Amino acid sequence: MPATLPGLILSAYAAAPALDSWHRADEAAYLAAAASLPHVAGLEVPFYGRSLHQYDGGWFLEAVRHLPPHLAFTVTTIPDTMHRLSGQQGFGLASLDDEGRRAGLAAVFRTAEAVRNLNDALGRRAVTSVHLFSAPRPAAGAPAGTSAQASAGALSVSLTELADYAWDGARPVLEHCDAGTGSGPWIKGFLPVEAEIDAILAADAGVGLAVNWARSVIEERDVSAPVRHVKLAGDAGVLAGAVLSGCSPVDTRFGSAWDDTHLPPAPLESNSLLTAARVAEFARAAGAEMPGGRGLYRGLKVSVPRGATVEQRLAILSGSIAAVREAGF
């Protein structure tokens, strides 16, 4: 394993105790330990529409002050996006419905405010990127292979507008999810990666694109899809991040088959399609598109079975980090 591999941005929230129940002591112990694991250079934290923690945003802003001072942060808007889609079908930056698109922009405006609040709490520009999404998804009952509620054109207009927001040093990045245009069922159902790249290029506003391994596999039911998506983004000059997360074609203790449940890599989860060879292939592809990996966000996002103890959660995180580092990521 090369000694110069960049550190990982760990999506520790996906395995946090708060997903099961809210106990400040457990959450504090978990957060501090996860942030201090070897090879962790930063954390991905979720924006829930009002704050950066689903239970207590004030507590979180105080807790991060006690974490290692070298950490960088990525803020993801996926929880807020999915919540708002449940109540407003046309919500999102790529919406062809003007009211839905404006609601998407307003939500991102609040995200930028949360970025500044986190930076202020830490006394530095700690947030380096913000994950945005090309919602909405296809309308309920729409035929497979259609995504009539969203377009690259609408997304491009939104990306141009949000470039004027006060990001306080953070870069907006579209994280690609499984598209709602395949022949089978979708999980997130957002725009295809080609449309997202077209929108980014048309906006010319400095927005990047991140490829999540599991989400690309789920979209195409093909383990070679993530490398293809990385190459597309790299060839277009917009690749900003490469994120490892596992999935499975069968039900596991982590969730249903082909669901976006953030499985750990094999062999920690025997049914995970994210094997050492595939991690290495993904790492090579990302490194080839951005020589040396300079500036490339390398992320790891894994979950845990429900009811896991803090110690079990940390063991899965630690084991997953060790597995992907050994494979060269």
Cβ atoms 175, 131 nearer than 8 A: yes
Closest CA to 13 of 81, 75, 86, 80: 75
CA distances from 306 to 67, 247, 327 (A): 26, 17, 28
Q: Given this model, what pLDDT does residue 289 score?
A: 76
Residue 144 is predicted with a pLDDT of: 47
145 close to 182: Cβ distance less than 8 angstroms: yes
Distance CA 214, CA 324 (A): 14
Q: What are phi and psi of 75, to 5 degrees?
A: -105, 125
Which uninterrupted H or E stretch holds 247?
A: none
**pLDDT score recorded for residue 291:** 62
Q: Distance between CA 324 and CA 42 in Å, rounded? A: 16
Helices 78-87 and 98-122: angle between axes, nearest 10 degrees: 150
Q: What tens digit of pLDDT does each residue of 68-99 get?
A: 999 999 999 999 999 999 999 999 999 999 99
For residue 139, the model assigns a pLDDT of: 72
Please give the pLDDT value at position 140.
Answer: 57
Ranges under pLDDT 50 in the chain: 1-2, 144-147
Sequence letter at residue 162:
L
Cβ distance 227 to 285 under 8 Å?
yes
Q: pTM of the predicted model, to two decimals?
A: 0.95
**Which parts of the chain are beta strand (E)?**
8-10, 40-46, 72-76, 127-132, 171-176, 208-212, 239-244, 297-300
Among 96, 81, 168, 78, which Cα is nearest to 138's? 96
